Structure 1
Amino acid sequence: MGMGNFFTLWMGSIHNIPNYAAVGGFLFLGLSPINVMLAVFLSAFFVSAFMALNGIVGSKYGIPFAMHLRSAYGNWGAKLPGFLRGCVAAIAWFGLQTYTGSLALLIMLGKIWPGFLHIGGTTKFLGIGIPGLIAFTIFWILNVLVGIGGGGILNKFTAILSPLIYVVFGGMAIWAIWGAGGLEQILSYHINPTTHVNPIWVYFIIFNSVIAVWAAPGTSVSDFTQNAKSTRVQVIGQTLGLSLGYLIFAFSSVVILIGGSIHYHIQEWNVLNIVERWDNFPAVIICMAVFLLTTISTNATGNIIPAGYQLTALFPKKLNYKSGVLIASAISFLIMPWKLMENSDSIFIFLNAIGAVLGPVAGVMIANYFFIHKRREDLDDLYMDLNTNNKEVLYHGVNKEAYAATVIALVLSLSGQFIPAMDIISDVSWFVGFGSAFLIYLGLKKLTSRKVLETVNIDE
């Protein structure tokens, strides 16, 4: 993968339907539209730094996430955080993203064939209407096919998708400005905030929300950087791609949502509902198609490819990458994500819990590579379980300090959910989890190294 591949790799993951919904929520935090744009754009620098730094070990040594995780937690210790990232989080998100994208497909099919929406009448199967189930199944198959194709198909896919994103979302922004009567009307639009928080703190809430979206793909980014031509290529490519992508997204998302609301004289924060109201049939089809493509790109990079790799790592004698993808995809269907969407509170509690785990995991991984291993990995020992008496054992068993730091940081990052006096932590839970795990892990390692040194001195 060259610089161009990394530049376009995450473009579709930025411009997806849930991210537009998140921006709709940001507009109710009390910031002006221009400040929401600025906060979303600045978030890109946190995201790109996280992705590039955590990807260095992959691009330098050519190792995937499973081995990167093993280098930090030990060969047995890596199994639990690997399962949480590659199986629980990835499979659940894959199902939810597929269902969200299938709603766009449902609108598209309804525009092409209005009678499609009435198939089966009010009959429901597995808790979903027949048209919705057909749309979900079709879209699910498309996602699975891209996942089976792996990185090779994804590179070609994103290379085609990125120019379409510039054209379509740029066109939607132009329409929104026209529909609102000018950019000034959008930037001066006032929304009554649902809460009153210090504006500076709102910036950090937005930073945390944006980077939390990347908690999973950022943790397993080595699955992609292992294929980089060089570390320089992935660092520059990801940084430029995410920065430009979020610059476009920050502007277009706010403009489209507010412009559409002004034009239709309603407050509508679901971008699909805005597009569905258009009278121009070709424009609706094209926009919905791009939304479908961005969802596929997001699902491939952030969910199904990591799930396939991680299942293979957990059961290397039984599974390969393709069989891992098929199993993960089947599970994502069987969990019936449309049922999960019926209760948004349960969904967000679950996803916040997974995000709280992955923040500490990422903190431990980065601290371990840069400060404990000092950017050096022994690949023979990492892969072959060498355990000789004349060399330090780095990768075997369970790294107790890593686990302790992860658990303590997890408790801290989740404390705001259960202790009212600490609810402010919930607003920056990823930063709390990442930062506390990073510092606690380094502290524990320093403490244990002193004890080992003292023991050696006593024996001597």
Structure 2
Amino acid sequence: MVIDSQTEQQFEGDVFVSENTASVFKDRGYNDDMLPKTEDKRNMNKKNYFTLWMGSVHNVPNYTAVGGFLFLGLSPLNVMLAIVVSALAVAAFMVINGRAGSKYGIPFAMHLRSVYGELGAKLPGFLRGIIAAIAWFGLQNYTGSLALLILVGKFWPGFLELGGDFSFFGIGLPGLLAFTFFWAINVMIGFGGGNVLNKFTAILNPLIYVVFGGMTVWAIWAAGGIGNILTYELSGVQSNPPLLVYLIIINSVIAVWAAPGASVSDFTQNATSTNDQKIGQTASLLVAYLIFAVSSVSILIGGSIYYNIQEWNVLNIIDRWDSMPAVILALVVLLMTTISTNATGNIIPAGYQLSALFPKKINYRRGVLIAGVISYLIMPWKMMENSDSIFAFLNIIGGVLGPVAGVMLADFYLIKKQNINLDALYFDKQKTDPSNPYRGVNKEGYIATIVALLVSISGQFFPALQFISNLSWLIGAGLAFGLYYVLKKGKAAA
């Protein structure tokens, strides 16, 4: 191998390639975005990972989802507990799947190649980096633009009347302008990549505590005490077994993280050590969701009690407040958390993946621009035309990416035993070596992925299988994990 053996020993279990090794890989035809990170570029520690995901939890789609959770049949307290349990599941997924990135310093595109092969990596890469990332990016931009629309309307009420009856495929002129402006901000943040994001989240983190902590205190006061929130009885609640509801909530929360969880190596490749990403990510997600569980349930129920109407849109509750400074601060922070979510989970991975799919023509920044344009053209406001859209969207994303996650985990931990040959992975593109295991297509991986994908999205087409859609990520990941392992072991035994 060309890897300097001394650098391999710098941190037990983690491989830090030398500048010479990275240079050799670059000469083989790989751009800088695809190279394993050298020690000097591994600049994310526990603190960076702790702040990384804090802003990705408090956003409008997540509050909308909690509004739906409250109607599934659990008490408000149990909904809070289910969200915290979900956070532990998400943290475990992010840390475990991020191990390949933090151990070897490789990005998601190369992590995928190590699993599916050079040619085989294109399909799962397309599912994550194009389908999921771009769709999520557009949806988050639209929901964020709704908050921006309210904010602008507070200062300039006449703005909301611009254009009269004008409609652009179902969206009025004020909404279109707000969406375009917010979309442009998100794309520019994406251009800056991880370095800009680290600075952004460092500012956002304390604001989250202040704003959402303050909103929670207000909600408890508005409800007449936390007891009234915990004992609140909703009308129109469904009747479901408690265990099923817990699983549905866990599945929905993981589905929110299905895309960033699959490509988490794009962030863990920058870890100073695996231990740093493990502690930082776990603490970040657990603390963030603990705050979110209490604040989201309290704000939605407290607002409903105070205004004497069941209101499950957090933006409508904020819009009803009498205090202009409070409205402005809350909306600004919601806008910032949406930007943070969009950068970490959507536009940055999309930029990297497009660069990986078309390395000779597209670099990271060009990939961000292309992803941004596509996210605009798909008209994401059409995806939110009814109240059930967010849940259907999450189920589809979970069904598409759960199988990819299952195969990735089974391959790295059970088949490769956490060992990746970087010299073979970064093979010379000008030379042909049919024996290289990282060329071509991992057929067993494809079979497991496609079979599990078809099963996990079947509920979208057959009403009798709706329960599968409600657990799409869990079923897809579990089925792909088991099937891939069986296929690989069967091939080895043949």
Which moved further from structure 2: 398-407 or 190-199? 190-199
Q: Tell me the SS of whatever aligns to 1:296.
A: helix
Q: Does 1:153 align with 2:185?
A: no
Which moved further from structure 2: 351-360 or 93-102? 351-360
Q: Structure 2 CA distance, aligned partners of 1:293 and 1:426? A: 31
Does the C-alpha gap of structure 1 residues 309 and 388 become closer, same or farther in structure 2, counting only changes over 3 Å? closer
- Give the counterpart letter for 1:295 in structure 2: T
Equivalent in 192, 206, 211 of residue 168 of structure 1: 211
The aligned residue for residue 307 of structure 2 is: 264
Q: Structure 2 CA distance, aligned partners of 1:129 and 1:45? A: 41
The aligned residue for residue 119 of structure 1 is: 162
The aligned residue for residue 332 of structure 1 is: 375
Does the C-alpha gap of structure 1 residues 11 and 347 become closer, same or farther in structure 2, counting only changes over 3 Å? closer
- Give the counterpart letter for 2:154 in structure 1: K
Does the C-alpha gap of structure 1 residues 283 and 346 become closer, same or farther in structure 2, counting only changes over 3 Å? closer
Q: Does 1:139 align with 2:190?
A: no
Q: Does 1:438 align with 2:481?
A: yes
Q: Structure 1 CA distance, aligned partners of 2:194 and 2:169? A: 33
Which moved further from structure 2: 90-99 or 351-360? 351-360
Alignment root-mean-square deviation, CA: 1.7
Are the counterparts in 2 of residues 30 and 192 from structure 1 also a CA contact under 8 Å?
no
Are the counterparts in 1 of residues 115 and 411 from structure 2 also a CA contact under 8 Å?
yes
Are the counterparts in 2 of residues 385 and 396 from structure 1 also a CA contact under 8 Å?
no
Q: Does 1:101 align with 2:144?
A: yes
The aligned residue for residue 345 of structure 2 is: 302
Q: Does 1:274 align with 2:274?
A: no
| Structure 1, unaligned runs of 5 or more | 452-460
The aligned residue for residue 64 of structure 1 is: 107
The aligned residue for residue 363 of structure 1 is: 406
Q: CA deviation at 1:423?
A: 3.1
Q: Does 1:225 align with 2:271?
A: no
Are the counterparts in 1 of residues 396 and 469 from structure 2 also a CA contact under 8 Å?
no
Are the counterparts in 2 of residues 10 and 242 from structure 1 also a CA contact under 8 Å?
yes
CA deviation map 1:139-196 (0-9, x unaligned): 1111011100000000111111111001100000000111111111111101135421
Q: CA deviation at 1:347?
A: 7.1
The aligned residue for residue 39 of structure 2 is: none
Q: Structure 1 CA distance, aligned partners of 2:223 and 2:133? A: 39
The aligned residue for residue 458 of structure 1 is: none
- Give the counterpart letter for 1:412 in structure 2: V
The aligned residue for residue 417 of structure 1 is: 460
Q: Structure 2 CA distance, aligned partners of 1:244 and 1:23? A: 17
Q: Structure 1 CA distance, aligned partners of 2:66 and 2:101? A: 32
Q: Does 1:90 align with 2:149?
A: no
Equivalent in 392, 405, 411 of residue 448 of structure 2: 405
Query: Normalized against structure 1, the TM-score is what?
Result: 0.95
The aligned residue for residue 492 of structure 2 is: 449
- Give the counterpart letter for 2:375 in structure 1: S
| Structure 2, unaligned runs of 5 or more | 1-43
The aligned residue for residue 29 of structure 2 is: none
Which moved further from structure 2: 392-401 or 322-331? 392-401
Are the counterparts in 1 of residues 119 and 441 from structure 2 also a CA contact under 8 Å?
yes
Are the counterparts in 2 of residues 84 and 354 from structure 1 also a CA contact under 8 Å?
no
CA deviation map 1:52-79 (0-9, x unaligned): 0000000110100001011110000000
Q: Tell me the SS of whatever aligns to 1:228.
A: coil
Q: Structure 2 CA distance, aligned partners of 1:191 and 1:95? A: 32
The aligned residue for residue 64 of structure 2 is: 21
For residues 195-210 of structure 1, the aligned pairs below 5 Å read: 195-210=238-253
Q: CA deviation at 1:342?
A: 2.7
The aligned residue for residue 278 of structure 2 is: 235
Are the counterparts in 1 of residues 45 and 277 from structure 2 also a CA contact under 8 Å?
yes
Does the C-alpha gap of structure 1 residues 416 and 248 become closer, same or farther in structure 2, counting only changes over 3 Å? same
Q: Does 1:184 align with 2:227?
A: yes
Q: CA deviation at 1:134?
A: 1.4
- Give the counterpart letter for 2:228 in structure 1: Q
Q: CA deviation at 1:340?
A: 3.1
Does the C-alpha gap of structure 1 residues 347 and 283 become closer, same or farther in structure 2, counting only changes over 3 Å? closer
Q: Tell me the SS of whatever aligns to 1:124.
A: coil
Q: CA deviation at 1:351?
A: 5.1
Which moved further from structure 2: 88-97 or 420-429? 420-429
The aligned residue for residue 382 of structure 1 is: 425
- Give the counterpart letter for 1:262 in structure 2: I
Q: Structure 2 CA distance, aligned partners of 1:26 and 1:291? A: 20
Q: Structure 2 CA distance, aligned partners of 1:356 and 1:331? A: 22
Q: Does 1:394 align with 2:437?
A: yes
Are the counterparts in 2 of residues 30 and 191 from structure 1 also a CA contact under 8 Å?
no
Task: Answer 1 or 2: which has greater helix percent.
Answer: 1
Q: Tell me the SS of whatever aligns to 2:98.
A: helix
Q: Does 1:129 align with 2:167?
A: no
Equivalent in 292, 295, 307 of residue 252 of structure 1: 295
CA deviation map 1:204-234 (0-9, x unaligned): 1111111111111100000000011010000
Q: Structure 1 CA distance, aligned partners of 2:394 and 2:78? A: 27
- Give the counterpart letter for 2:199 in structure 1: K
Are the counterparts in 1 of residues 400 and 457 from structure 2 also a CA contact under 8 Å?
no
Q: CA deviation at 1:242?
A: 0.3
The aligned residue for residue 85 of structure 2 is: 42
**Percent identity over the alignment?**
68
Q: Structure 2 CA distance, aligned partners of 1:423 and 1:295? A: 30
Are the counterparts in 2 of residues 414 and 429 from structure 1 also a CA contact under 8 Å?
yes
Q: Does 1:75 align with 2:129?
A: no
Does the C-alpha gap of structure 1 residues 201 and 193 become closer, same or farther in structure 2, counting only changes over 3 Å? farther
Q: Structure 2 CA distance, aligned partners of 1:131 and 1:6? A: 37
Q: Tell me the SS of whatever aligns to 1:125.
A: coil
Are the counterparts in 2 of residues 416 and 426 from structure 1 also a CA contact under 8 Å?
yes
Q: Tell me the SS of whatever aligns to 2:186.
A: helix
CA deviation map 1:6-45 (0-9, x unaligned): 1111111111110001100010011111111111111111
Query: Normalized against structure 2, the TM-score is what?
Result: 0.88
Are the counterparts in 1 of residues 255 and 394 from structure 2 also a CA contact under 8 Å?
no
The aligned residue for residue 318 of structure 1 is: 361
Does the C-alpha gap of structure 1 residues 242 and 283 become closer, same or farther in structure 2, counting only changes over 3 Å? same
